[in-house]
Structure 1
Amino acid sequence: MQDYKQILVVINPTVDNQASLERAIDLASKNQAEVIAFLSIFDFSYEMTSILSHQEREAMRQGVIEQRKEWLIDILKRYKNRGVKLTPQVIWHNRPFESVINFSIDNQIDLIVKSTHEHDKLKAVIFTPTDWHLLRKSPMPVLMVKEHDWPQNGNIICAINVAGDEDEQQHLNAKIIKHAKNLASKFSATIHLVNGYPGTPVNLAIELPDFDANTYNNTIRMQHEQRVQYVAQAYDIPIENCHVEEGLPEDVIPDLAQRLDAELVILGTVGRTGFSAALIGNTAEHVIDSINCDLLAIKPDGYKSPLEE
């Protein structure tokens, strides 16, 4: 894959310490990239002021935009000696995720960077805040930043799926690993592959008295190990860096990330929308609340955002 040339970082207007901006600048400095510091703002009260004309409301909005832009420029001044081109961008929009994705599509952004935090568990299951919308609907990679450092000689985990032989899944695995290799070369990091496989279905053991659960389990494990090792060999990743463990991805991935003290987890995510998305989510959304490091979510080639339709 090519280096990131344009990185959009989503600015949090409620804090001065922007962890996502720091991470974006680190990445940009190693890729000779431009960082666009993007702030989406909206105040419904300005839209409801019926005694003002359209021109007066527009003038008020522009005044707020300029005010926030000055605040943003002051923040960017702290990084003027980092050798990275920093561009402030403030947009008035009532749906932040839409403004981020639309701007990124229109300006051919290579990477979206945003800080995240541990979400309330109930809300993470039922509601879809900006983080979730970006993970589901952004066609370009999204890096969710936590407070974990990216040290030199750290660990990057690639979560791959080897359960099927579909071309799309193999291409997505390749895309994940190529992103990892690019980042690993910049930060002298070590790449690990992780894969979770399902355990023996309880109903089989109950309904079939002669069913050998151990043999079944070992067969499934060996199949997954062989496939993961085949992928590792194709990309010159040491076999000892392959981790195949029984369990769901949302359990296996965070456990390995903690054991390795990983700086980054990279996985593929398929945009899911509608009621099922709100209730179920996908692996990226389950994992992000359970890890203490950054997460990079990659879409399959050809993915089209619902905002483009």
Structure 2
Amino acid sequence: MSIKKAAICYLTRIPDGETIEFAEQLARDSRLSSNTDIYIMIDDNNYQIQSNSLINFIQINNNECITNGYHSSNKLEMNKDCISWDKALYYFCQVKQMNYSFVWLIEDDTFIPSVDAFVSLHEKYSKEGQGDLICQRNEENLYGNTSTWKWSDVVGKFSPPWYHSMVCAIGCSRKLLDTIANYAQQKRFLPFIEYMFNTLAMQNHLKVVNPPELSTIVFRENWTWEHIQQRPNNWFHPFKNEHIRRDNRLKMANAWKAPPQNTEQMANVWQTPSQNTGYQGNTQCQGQMPQYPYFMEPSYCPPPPPPPNSGNVISSLVYPPNVPPPYPPH
């Protein structure tokens, strides 16, 4: 029998109050409550968990993860063997392997403006066949060039071509989670997350989707309320201050609803049918591969031939820079 249930897991060292509050809002929503479980992974094993009937709090011993091959996924940045990323991957790849068909992994400084903004993306991509990796980008390195970014770290872990993205908020299918589990079982460690997810997905012919709603997941940016107003269905990173996140959610909940617009007409102006899908390759339209920190708007380029050993990359919607997508009123 196929698995139909999904999970949302916030990744934290210690969860702040606003993260718990929003997780509870997700758990209460009738569109999610029957088929989606809400988790908060807590890296600090000394943190005292408060009883909560809506949220599953998880703490896992570091040695348990390391012994099973789930470690070092963010050692390049954090210089720690085991953090919440390793623990969440161990939990959903191995411990709960038979429980979930799709899992969202979300760092706690990612801001989702509303439950509707989560449900909108979740309903598009969590169903089987809609995508195996839902992420911000899919930058490619076809021939193993190690002169830029952190590509030298990939050597010995994967053969080219390589791929990477910001992964502060991603969705993973069971196929991708099983692929990660196989890697951990064989290699007894996890590669750096910013190239692991994309490279494993592409080299195993899985479907990678880069929705415009995740284009605002970036390394560093001073997001404002105006940015959120322009793109209310987008997810934003970074938003480290819990008080600002809470204030913005309240503003969103109380925001005046604009009169309905002719979204079909607007969509025709902003995009053509040929722009709906296509490979996002390292083409002349994209230019030189960016290095973090960066912020690049989605853009359309003619689809190049797929590189060797490649999966399928889909850009689900294309729109000009500085123009919000034509979100329908809700």
What TM-score comes out, normalization by structure 1 length?
0.31
Larger Rg: 1 or 2? 1
Structure 1 or 2: more strand by fraction: 1
Structure 1 or 2: more helix by fraction: 1
